[in-house]
């Protein structure tokens, strides 16, 4: 077995562990940021400054009994959280997070910092993200509970409506990048205009970025679009009946999806690992910073806005976001034809 | 079991008695067609405690402390309504200074109750940050009430024939400072409620109740005033200190949830004004008159304006040491019909806010725990205890 293969396998483990840890970090950040927005203290008992709180939560979840309501579909009830979590992990596999590296000259051929370099990575992310809706719908349906069912139905219609705008905003970037590979799209954003403005697609595609961001929030069922789990109406929505680790998997999937949406946004709009000051081999630092910044915006939005109403979300999705996305795509296409890619 | 083909199947969403949206047990059955509510029913009585009957075995003075515990938020208005009824039976009148202090505490209570409601209503709309802000500000009033009376809830400020404590200069200054702190913040909340687009989307034209409906359904308090019903016991039949310190009634004509927000927040400004005025012109004199333990036979009715609306007390005496009958009608009960009637046609998502819109009475709990070690007792001052409570969570 050549060293490259070993490094590739190691990379899989690194990405998997990093995703788990990033979910833990996101939970901690969420609680601390929320607390400071609301003038509270946040977690501060477990570990210094409450840093170990997410781990305490995970241990607690693992030791909790996992209940299954009477009348629930045995197989699907267990399968649903697995689908959700698996889809969340799988989507990240094709996301590159750094330039090729030889690990300080250790390897003969450079390795890409990416689990799988698929030449249609954008489509893969998109396809797998749509898979996660199955986990939610099946969870809602198999629970044999009204709150779960309503939550799942809301979630399904919400995700389907927003996937259109999501896809259209991606399409406009694909036109600019002239490729379906995330690595090539990132590399198309290297360099600067006039030496100051980075050649990030967010500069050319501000509308696309906004559409992507908003539908990304809806895709991941985050506040202010968190109707599937609107506690005031539907208790906990599709995962009302879940407890213990099955619930933990939904929870994990939600945060990993946030990380994935932020990572893809970084690659598509914010120039991926390209940035000033640092050499390209350390580009992953830029990547992490950009993802962290997007995650912060996610959390910030959640704790600043009241929840929209379900019908308001659907109206906004179909009557505002979709036309804007279509228009943006047409203008981009015209621009690409006129100026050349 | 019948299975008729013709009868359409109803999808009923149960809310309560245990539900995250409810802070107190109640049961609602909401029939929905998709997301649209087609019918709503309420079942109450989960926290029936038999207080009215219990009062009959207490003497006149003891009964007040039991009645005060009907509501954890507006405890003072219950005691005031009862004390006014007893004084009516006994044929005495509390001295002016006592009447003014009763109003002072009543208005402080209104401030804390309305701020609490603002938070709960925002929370029901998924706006938890506003909830945290308004509850933080509510602590300011709670501190004053605790400083004045020794309790955060159930202040026991009234006694039959007067009040049991005076307000000194230091306390008056503290209250003035607190009001100065609260006023700009309340103005800020009013601005959020009337200008923040995402919140307006959830409140404007939602739960609209017309003037006629409000009259027909017998709505009371801010719920009725938001529909343009000019009904406020403090204005209509002034009691206690409200004869000397009149209030301006706040009404709104829209009748929707936004109007309920505006009416309650504007009432806060009126309360601030009134509190300042009372502190500036506190009449001198005694704090209480004597009331004999046996009251002459007779009946009395007293009405006061609780933060949630008209609170009604009926008392009957047979000339003995204890009440023969005590009937209480709380404002929340009068307002339930308005929720159930306005609900159909709204979205399921509006229901928690509609229910919260009438400010149904939620009990709150005392947070004080004392741990006493044998032989190692020490007395803590109020300030130290409060500081301990804050530091504990750091």
The fraction of chain A above a pLDDT of 90, given in percent, is 0
Nearest CA in chain A to B130: A38
DSSP notation for A13-40 = HHHHHHHHHHHHHHHHHHHHHHHHHTT-
Residues B165/B157, Cβ–Cβ less than 8 Å: yes
pLDDT of residue B299: 92
CATH tag for B51-329 (out of 1.10.645.10, 3.30.450.20, 1.10.3080.10, 3.20.20.150): 1.10.645.10
- The per-residue pLDDT for B66 is 86
Residue A304: closest C-alpha in chain B:
B129
- What average pLDDT does range B127-147 have in this prediction? 88
Which residues lie below 8 Å from residue A160, measured CB to CB, with a gap of 6+?
A: A133
Kindly list the domain boundaries of chain A, sorted by start residue.
64-339
Of B349, B355, B392, which to mutate for an interface test with A (greatest number of A Cβ within 10 Å)?
A: B349
In percent, the amount of chain A with pLDDT more than 70 equals 91
Nearest-Cα residue of chain A relative to residue B23? A232
Q: What stretches of B71-218 adopt beta strand conformation (E)?
A: 158-159, 162-163
Does the structure show a pLDDT above 50 at B367?
A: no
Average pLDDT for A28-36: 88
pLDDT at A118 over 50: yes
Query: How many CA atoms are closer than 13 Å to the CA of A114, on its beta-carbon side?
Result: 26
CB burial of residue A190 (10 Å; 0-12, 13-18, 19+) = middle
Place of tokens 């209940």: A67
Question: 3-state SS of A200-237?
Answer: CHHHHCHHHHHHHHHHHHHHCCCCCCCHHHCHHHHCCH
Highest mean pLDDT among A120-129, A223-232, A293-302, B5-14: A293-302
CA distance B195 to B186: 14
Give the containing element (helix H, strand E) for A12.
helix A3-37
Contact B122 A306 (CB under 8 A): yes
pLDDT of residue A1: 58
- What ipTM does the predicted assembly reach? 0.75
Q: Does B129 contact A303 at a Cβ distance shorter than 8 Å?
A: yes
pLDDT at B163 over 80: yes
pLDDT at B194 over 80: yes
Domain extent listing, chain B? 10-47+333-392, 51-329
Across residues B48-77, what is the average pLDDT? Answer: 85
Alpha-carbon gap, residue B391 to B394, rounded angstroms: 5
d(CA B132, CA A39): 8
B352 in contact with A, Cβ within 8 Å: yes
Whether residue B35 and residue A223 make contact (CB cut-off 8 A), yes or no, is no
Residue tagged 């702190």 (tokens): B181
Q: Of B3-7, B269-273, B381-385, where does the model show the most confidence? A: B269-273
Q: What does the DSSP assignment read for A284-300?
A: HHHHHHHHHHHHHHHHH
Average pLDDT score over chain B: 84
What residues are paired with B184 via a beta bridge? none
d(CA A167, CA B32): 33
Q: How many CB atoms lie within 10 A of CB A292?
A: 16
Residue in A226, A233, A240 to test binding to B, most B beta-carbons within 10 Å? A233
Q: Is the pLDDT of residue A295 over 60?
A: yes
Cβ contact B352–A307 (<8 Å):
no
The residue with tokens 């029901």 is B124
- Integer Cα distance of B346 and B369 in angstroms: 44
Tell me the Cα Rg of chain B: 22
Does any CB of chain A come closer than 8 Å to the CB of residue B35? yes
Sign of CA dihedral B7, B11, B14, B15: negative
| pLDDT given at position B69 | 84
Cβ atoms of A119 and A180 within 8 Å: the answer is yes
Any idea how long chain B is?
Answer: 394
Cα Rg of chain A (Å, integer): 21
Angle between helical axes of A206-219 and A146-177 (0-180°, round to 10)? 160
CA distances from A306 to A218, A309, B49, B83, B200 (A): 14, 9, 36, 42, 10
């Amino acid at each position: 077995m050549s060293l490259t293969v070993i490094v590739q396998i190691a990379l899989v483990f690194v990405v998997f562990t990093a995703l788990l840890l990033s979910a833990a970090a996101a939970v901690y950040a969420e609680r601390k940021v929320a607390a400071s927005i609301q003038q509270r203290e946040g977690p501060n008992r477990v570990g210094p400054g409450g840093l170990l709180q997410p781990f305490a939560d995970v241990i607690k979840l693992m030791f909790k009994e996992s209940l299954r309501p009477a009348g629930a579909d045995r197989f699907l009830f267990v399968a649903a959280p697995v689908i959700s979590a698996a889809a969340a992990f799988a989507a990240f596999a094709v996301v590159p997070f750094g330039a090729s590296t030889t690990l300080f000259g250790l390897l003969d051929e450079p390795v890409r910092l990416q689990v799988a370099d698929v030449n249609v990575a954008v489509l893969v992310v998109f396809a797998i993200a749509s898979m996660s809706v199955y986990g939610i719908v099946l969870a809602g349906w198999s629970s044999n509970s009204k709150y779960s069912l309503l939550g799942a139905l809301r979630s399904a219609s919400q995700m389907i409506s927003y996937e259109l705008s999501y896809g259209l905003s991606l399409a406009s970037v694909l036109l600019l990048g002239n490729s379906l590979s995330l690595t090539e799209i990132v590399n198309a954003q290297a360099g600067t205009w006039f030496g100051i403005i980075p050649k990030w697609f967010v500069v050319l595609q501000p509308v696309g970025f906004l559409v992507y961001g908003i539908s990304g929030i809806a895709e991941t069922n985050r506040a202010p679009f968190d109707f599937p789990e609107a506690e005031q109406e539907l208790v906990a929505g599709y995962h009302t009946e879940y407890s213990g680790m099955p619930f933990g998997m939904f929870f994990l999937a939600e945060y990993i999806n946030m990380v994935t949406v932020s990572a893809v946004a970084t690659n598509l709009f914010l120039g991926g690992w390209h940035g000033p000051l640092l050499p390209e081999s350390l580009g992953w630092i830029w990547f992490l910073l950009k993802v962290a910044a997007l995650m912060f915006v996610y959390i910030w939005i959640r704790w600043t806005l009241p929840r929209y109403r379900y019908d308001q979300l659907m109206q906004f999705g179909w009557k505002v976001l979709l036309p804007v996305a279509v228009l943006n795509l047409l203008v981009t296409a015209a621009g690409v034809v006129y100026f050349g890619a | 079991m019948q299975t008729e083909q013709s009868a359409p199947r109803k999808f009923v969403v149960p809310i309560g008695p245990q539900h995250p949206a409810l802070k107190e047990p109640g049961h609602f059955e909401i029939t929905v067609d998709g997301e649209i509510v087609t019918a709503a029913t309420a079942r109450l009585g989960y926290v029936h405690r038999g207080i009215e009957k219990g009062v009959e075995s207490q003497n006149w003075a003891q009964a007040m402390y039991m009645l005060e515990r009907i509501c954890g938020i507006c405890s003072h208005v219950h005691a005031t309504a009862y004390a006014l009824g007893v004084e009516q039976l006994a044929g005495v009148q509390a001295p002016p200074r006592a009447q003014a202090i009763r109003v002072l505490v009543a208005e402080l209570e209104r401030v804390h109750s309305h701020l609490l409601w603002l938070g709960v209503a925002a929370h029901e709309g998924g706006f938890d940050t506003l909830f945290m802000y308004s509850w933080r500000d509510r602590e300011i009033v709670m501190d004053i009430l605790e400083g004045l009376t020794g309790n955060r809830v159930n202040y026991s400020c009234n006694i039959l024939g007067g009040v049991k404590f005076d307000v000194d200069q230091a306390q008056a200054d503290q209250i003035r400072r607190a009001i100065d702190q609260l006023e700009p913040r309340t103005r800020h909340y009013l601005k959020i409620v009337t200008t923040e687009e995402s919140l307006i989307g959830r409140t404007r034209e939602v739960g609209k109740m017309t003037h006629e409906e409000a009259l027909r359904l017998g709505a009371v308090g801010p719920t009725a005033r938001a529909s343009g019903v000019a009904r406020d016991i403090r204005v209509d039949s002034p009691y206690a200190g409200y004869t000397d310190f009149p209030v301006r009634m706040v009404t709104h004509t829209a009748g929707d949830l936004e109007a309920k927000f505006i009416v309650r927040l504007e009432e806060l400004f009126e309360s601030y004004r009134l509190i300042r005025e009372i502190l500036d012109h506190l009449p001198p004199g005694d704090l209480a008159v004597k009331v004999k333990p046996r009251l002459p036979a007779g009946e009395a009715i007293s009405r006061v304006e609780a933060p949630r609306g008209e609170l009604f007390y009926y008392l009957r005496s047979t000339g003995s040491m204890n009440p023969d009958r005590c009937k209480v009608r709380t404002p929340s009960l009068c307002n339930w019909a308005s929720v159930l009637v306005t609900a159909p046609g709204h979205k399921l998502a509006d229901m928690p806010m509609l229910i919260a819109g009438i400010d149904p009475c939620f009990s709150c709990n005392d947070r004080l725990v004392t741990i006493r070690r044998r032989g190692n007792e020490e007395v803590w001052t109020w300030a130290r205890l409060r500081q301990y409570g804050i530091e504990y969570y750091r």
